[in-house]
């Protein structure tokens, strides 16, 4: 359902948004730093969600980005773009860590001898 946009952006609203963006950037940086050497939590990384909830969240994010492009001054747009970049770097760090872990487990399985053996053909 489309949301109504405020007709004007107040300085207080922009200041609050700046502060929120700054705290989000700092949180993303902390998470990226932790992901480089982190172990998965006891319950794992997965957060159960229904596809409908995930779709609603994506739609909300797209609507926010569209509104931001129209309402925000260039300085905040640049800050938002930097935040998106940092979040993507974080996602890449998590994926790299996860792939490295999977490769390590695979290599350890090969070294331990999983019952597969090369047979020389003469």
pLDDT, tens digit, for every residue of 7-44?
456 788 778 778 887 777 777 777 766 666 656 666 66
| Residue 83 forms part of a structural domain | yes
Cβ(61)–Cβ(120) under 8 Å? no
Q: How far apart are CA 66 and CA 62, in angstroms?
A: 6
Token pair, residue 2, equals 């489309």
Contact at 8 Å (CB) between 94 and 33? no
Host domain of residue 101? 74-113
Q: What is the pLDDT of residue 7?
A: 45
Q: Is residue 105 part of a domain?
A: yes
Domain contains 49 = no
Domain presence at residue 52:
no
Helix (H, G, I), strand (E, B) or coil at 89: helix
Counted domains in the chain: 1
Indicate if the pLDDT at residue 100 is higher than 60.
Answer: yes
């Amino acid at each position: 359902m489309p949301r109504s946009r405020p007709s004007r952006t107040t300085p207080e609203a922009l200041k609050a948004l700046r502060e929120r963006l700054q705290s989000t950037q700092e949180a993303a940086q902390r998470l990226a730093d932790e992901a480089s050497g982190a172990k998965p939590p006891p319950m794992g990384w997965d957060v159960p969600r229904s596809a409908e909830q995930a779709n609603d969240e994506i739609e909300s994010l797209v609507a926010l980005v569209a509104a931001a492009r129209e309402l925000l001054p260039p300085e905040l747009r640049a800050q938002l773009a930097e935040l998106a970049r940092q979040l993507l770097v974080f996602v890449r760090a998590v994926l790299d860590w996860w792939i490295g872990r999977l490769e390590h487990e695979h290599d350890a399985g090969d070294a331990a001898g999983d019952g597969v053996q090369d047979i020389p053909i003469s």
